[in-house]
Structure 1
């Protein structure tokens, strides 16, 4: 899949404006209207395009897979699982300006567990085991439907695969994920801003386990 010429121009304009301090919502609205972008294209710019300073700030927090060995990895459950699920389903993935791989899915209070969801969850635990983390903590947003069931499924997987750790719900996943582990796994900007070190677990699984090739925005 290739990005359209108009979308590439919009991305370039958005990057320029964000680098000069304009607010993200205003920038997306401006370039979206100017280039008559679709809802999905606007969402891509909102999630994937960053000003120079912010992009560098995020990249500097990213660690390599080798850094995970012997350390505790805290996972933003829904965030990572949804991107892995998108990769499984063959949906578009994007290499964003800040080095993270993202998709365009989202959860807004309601979530339906599917076989793809459970497959994604299993891949998360398997990949963490392959990276030899000392402990894996998976947190799911408590207000989202079925978060308790997913936590239970994750605990069963941890036990079955012999991975030390825990899975539970949280009312403040962004705070807890950034504090409970040595490294946080999430592409959520709120988590990225709070955490000291991050690993793009979803991107790692998509590229190295599922052999997906994300679409670069540059």
Structure 2
């Protein structure tokens, strides 16, 4: 399939950020801290808060890149495996993809959206289309089981978990959905347990650093649809 670049609204957001991204990467190679470096370069380049947000999502400190890439598994290699999804992370990213928001190929090899929000509470509505896209992909990939983990501190997470359970059953997938007050901790604990051998679906760098194997579902969907992400190089 011939790939095409996604048709994102507005002007190309990457043009202004290419040089700052190169400058930041050059400084990071000397061992300087990531966020202080981004702040320094962003102030020098007069970047907006949203542009800084993009850089913080896309650029990854060099010492983390290789480890994260090694943990990423192929989209077609989850057959008969147990899968645990970082629920809001995956669904909101797929929602961004479906809404043709910019999707970025980040330095550690993962796809991330950069919708400029400071919390998930106002974003976690009307995720049915994103959920259907995820479950359609999973039903074709044939994992052994699928579980969605949702942060209970986000409004109506319990209702969403119930909705996901019904959807999972409709797609003929063995799975569950549940909430936790310590979702990130649970994902890191479960994904780091060598005996359980779980695959964690997420693009959250902090979680990736603590688990053994990671599936990038937005990347899988983009590959299937022939959509190329934006790149800052």
Normalized against structure 1, the TM-score is what?
0.91
**Unmatched 5+ residue regions in structure 1?**
none
Find the aligned partners of 1:216 and 1:18 in 2 and give their Cα distance.
18
Q: Counterparts of 1:7 and 1:100 in 2: how far apart (Å)?
A: 19
1:144-183 per-position Cα deviation (integer Å, ceiling 9, x unaligned):
1121121111101111111001101112222322416611
Corresponding residue number in structure 1 for 2:14: 3
- 2:36 corresponds in structure 1 to 26
Distance in 2 (CA, whole Å) between partners of 1:145 and 1:206 is 29
Q: Is the 8 A contact 2:14 2:231 kept in 1?
A: no
CA contact (8 A) 2:17 2:232 kept: no
Q: In 2, Cα distance between the equivalents of 1:95 and 1:176?
A: 26
Q: CA deviation at 1:3?
A: 1.7
Distance 1:120 1:107, change over 3 A: farther
Distance in 2 between residues matched to 1:57 and 1:35, nearest whole Å: 31
Identify which of 84, 87, 101 aligns with 2:97. 87
CA distance, structure 2, for counterparts of residue 141 and residue 17 of structure 1: 36
TM-score by length of structure 2 reads: 0.86
The equivalent position to 1:108 in structure 2, one of 119, 131, 152, is 119
Within 5 Å, which residues of 2 pair with 1:162-181? 162-178=172-188, 179=190
| Structure 2 segments unaligned to the other structure (5+ residues) | 1-11, 192-196
1:69 aligns with 2:79: yes
Residue 123 of structure 1 corresponds to 133
Q: Does 1:215 align with 2:226?
A: no
Alignment of 1:121-200 (within 5 A): 121-178=131-188, 179=190, 182-200=198-216
In 1, Cα distance between equivalents of 2:76 and 2:70: 16
Q: Retained in 2: the 8 A contact 1:111–1:146?
A: no
After superposition, the CA RMSD in angstroms is: 1.8
State how far apart, in whole Å, the 1-side matches of 2:186 and 2:87 are. Answer: 12
Instruction: Compute the displacement of 1:25 (Å).
Output: 1.9
3-state SS of 2:57 partner: helix
* Cα contact 1:95–1:215 (8 A) shared by 2: yes
Distance between the aligned counterparts of 1:69 and 1:60, measured in 2?
A: 19
| Deviation digits for residues 160-212 of structure 1 (CA, Å, limit 9, x no counterpart) | 11100110111222232241661111011111111111010122123314x43
Number of aligned positions between the proteins: 215
Distance 1:111 1:48, change over 3 A: same
Aligned-partner SS, 1:196: coil
